[in-house]
Amino acid sequence: AEHQHARYNPLRDDWVLVSAHRVKRPWQGQLEKPPPEDVPRWDPNNPLCPGATRANGEVNPQYEGTFVFPNDFPALQPDAPEPDDSDHPLFRAAPARGVCKVMCFHPWSDLTLPLMSLPEIRAVIDAWAELATELGASYPWVQIFENKGAMMGCSNPHPHCQVWASSFLPNEACLEDRTQRQHLSQHGVPMLLEYAEQEAHRKERLVVENADWLVVVPYWATWPYQTLLLPRRHVCRLQDLSDSERDNLASIMQRLLIKYDNLFEVSFPYSMGWHGAPSGPYLQEDCRHWQLHAHYYPPLLRSATVRKFMVGYEMLAQVQRDLTPEQAAERLRSLPEVHYK
């Protein structure tokens, strides 16, 4: 807790430098005002609101729950042409096709997941599983992710996430596929199943838990209050969760996100996403090495206005953090589970 050391991340096969003493240094860097929270419940000019007109001229239905539609500015399209052949191995290109969707969690713009009811969060989980099944029938990778807050580049405060399905396995998926496959081969148990059992026993990095799930600040965390959401049983994909597991997932997500908001009494920014076994052609392959999990990457370090920047040493040498995962977990664990609002 007092001296610098390096920790190994078996999921990414890399290392993080932990320098806990640095959090004591005075801060004279960038300060920012917390984002305004006076978001109107409904705004006819907000393209994610019910009844609003989007950039392509389409009018949203008067939806009352979740609402999924094709991204009007997709990063991936299903009919992109093949790139030209390379004339040199240092200048390679490959096809990249797919579809991008947007999913609104709720018709109200002034709600976020921790302020939604458990049935409303459960509806989001069911919609995630439906999209994973639908798009995963043909695409190898379906990435569900939420960027929350302007600090994380979110351009619209309305509660929503994105789903990108791609014709290829992205870098992080390839990396986690390799490390989890190696771990199962060498140790005979899925890496993150074994890891969840260890963390449930050790408890020093545990934030919240219930009968089916646990949330930890991982031993190898890079972001200050990064967490990892893990199921207790071996499950490969989101769509494989049982009814009770989905109910308990809604509950543990709400508890975690309330703690996040309570940490600095602000709508807590983060990027989160689900990782599970590849789909499409991989549905017919042995994917027992995979364990479903969700990553939460929040940037805030000291307050609602001071974030952790991945710059300098982090970009040029190795990721470094300023407080130990155990300290971060204890602080999150001790926070109330009643929202500060």
Q: How many Cα atoms within 13 Å fall on the side-chain side of residue 251?
A: 14
Q: Confirm or deny that 280 is annotated as ligand binding.
A: no
**Diameter of the chain measured on Cα atoms:** 60
Q: Does 314 show up as a binding residue in the annotation?
A: yes
User: How many helices (DSSP H) and strands (DSSP E) are in the chain?
Assistant: 6, 12
How do 160-166 and 141-148 pair as beta strands? antiparallel
Instruction: Confirm or deny that 46 is annotated as ligand binding.
Output: no
Task: Answer yes or no: is 147 a known binding residue.
Answer: yes
The verdict on whether residue 49 carries a ligand-binding annotation is no
Residue 25 marked in a binding site: yes
Q: Which residues contact 250 (CB under 8 A, 6 or more apart)?
A: 118, 119, 121, 122, 124, 125
d(CA 115, CA 118): 9
Q: Establish whether 232 is an annotated binding residue.
A: no
Q: Check the annotation: does 158 bind a ligand.
A: no
Q: Which two tokens stand for residue 34?
A: 């917390």
Give the separation between CA 339 and CA 114, rounded to whole angstroms: 8
Is 317 annotated in a binding site? The answer is: no
Residue 255 annotated as binding site: no
- Confirm whether residue 22 is marked as ligand binding: yes
Q: What residues contact 197, with CB distance under 8 A and at least 6 apart? A: none
The residues annotated with a catalytic role in the active site are 160
Evaluated on CA atoms 321, 144, 133, 116, the torsion sign reads positive
Residue positions in the annotated binding site for Fe cation? 176, 275, 293, 295
Q: Please enumerate, by residue number, every residue annotated as part of a binding site for UDP-alpha-D-glucose.
A: 22-25, 55, 71-72, 147, 153-155, 162, 308-309, 313-314, 320
Binding residues: 22-25, 55, 71-72, 147, 153-155, 162, 176, 275, 293, 295, 308-309, 313-314, 320
